[in-house]
Amino acid sequence: MNHRAIRAIYLFEMARTWRTLLQSIVSPVVSTSLYFVVFGAAIGSRISQVEGVSYGTFIVPGLIMLSVLTQSIANASFGIYFPKFTGTIYEILSAPISYFEIVLGYVGAAATKSIILGLIILATAGLFVPLHIQHPVWMLAFLVLTAVTFSLFGFIIGIWADGFEKLQMIPMLVVTPLTFLGGSFYSIDMLPAGWRTVALLNPVVYLISGFRWSFYEIADVSVSVSIGMTLAFLVICLVVIWWIFRTGYRLKN
């Protein structure tokens, strides 16, 4: 194992985060705070409790997931796309480093950033609403699992993208709608029966449901299904990445 190479990539990516602190950390925190103001305070004050939890408190796990999902994808996809764009990928490809180690460096850094961000948003949420986490270990487990899985997904998008438009396309056109429709701001039980069935096709529902369960022990689907679905998505991403490196897709001629 070339642990120095993993460390080099990891620290390089983390250095980019600190260099772009405003964009990486501050702006998601600001936008999340705005969600609290709009949904939590303004609209939430007119909504009664959801399954025994005040609306402002109810949306906290969903908001964290919303940021963790989008930021994991953005960080990881940009992290690997940028060397492709500038051409510095030549150095990664010509270094004595395995594909697994490359993924570990990039995805590890992207996931770390998302987890830090998730925790910062959690702390920010604590300023707006009272929080009580029933299962902190499970909460962390869901956070880490989601950050890693969606960083892997972002890594795939970064390899696939051959322009900035494609880099933005999947996060904007697929992930954001899925996250909004995945129960960030409501319980899918609130939906009419037909739409509830449709919502269950959305993988994000399972992530948010499991994460929310770790906070309040309320869930749209059972926790084991949530974990199972997240792990399934993780495995799918790993298989795709294995295939990418095996074939050299969009990396090697």
Partner 1 sequence: MSSIISVANLSKTYGSGFKALKNVNLDIKRGEIFALLGPNGAGKTTLISIICGIANPSAGRVLVGGEDIQTSYRKARSLIGLVPQELHTDAFESVWATVSFSRGLFGKPKNPDHIEKVLKDLSLWDKKDNKIITLSGGMKRRVMIAKALSHEPQILFLDEPTAGVDVELRKGMWEVVRGLQQSGVTIILTTHYIEEAEEMADRIGVINKGEIVLVEDKATLMQKLGKKRLTLHLQGKIASLPESLAHYELELCDSGATLVYDYDTKGERTGITSLLGDLRTAGIRFNDLDTTQSSLEDIFVDLVRTS
Residues in the site for partner 1, rule: CB under 8 A? 2, 4-5, 7-9, 11-12, 15, 19, 86-88, 90-98, 248, 252-253
DSSP reduced 3-state for 217: coil
CB of 78 to partner 1, least distance (A): 13
Task: Specify the DSSP class assigned to residue 131.
Answer: -
CB of 241 to partner 1, least distance (A): 17
Closer CB to partner 1, residue 5 or residue 148?
5
CB of 23 to partner 1, least distance (A): 13
Amino acid at 237: C
How far, CA to CA in Å, does 168 sit from each of 18, 82, 121?
Answer: 22, 13, 23
Closer CB to partner 1, residue 11 or residue 239?
11
Question: Are the CB atoms for 226 and 218 separated by under 8 Å?
Answer: no
Closer CB to partner 1, residue 83 or residue 182?
83
- Hey, what are 242's tokens? 């294995």
CB of 82 to partner 1, least distance (A): 9
3-state secondary structure 141-203: HHHHHHHHHHHHHHHHHHHHCCCHHHHHHHHHHHHHHHHHCCCCCCCHHHCCHHHHHHHCCCH
CB of 8 to partner 1, least distance (A): 3
CB of 106 to partner 1, least distance (A): 12
DSSP reduced 3-state for 213: helix
Closer CB to partner 1, residue 102 or residue 219?
102
Closer CB to partner 1, residue 13 or residue 220?
13
Nearest to 15 by CA among 69, 70, 88, 79: 79
Q: How far apart are CA 171 and CA 205, in angstroms?
A: 16
Q: How many residues comprise the chain?
A: 253
Closer CB to partner 1, residue 48 or residue 86?
86
Closer CB to partner 1, residue 68 or residue 74?
74
Task: Specify the DSSP class assigned to residue 105.
Answer: H
CB of 14 to partner 1, least distance (A): 12
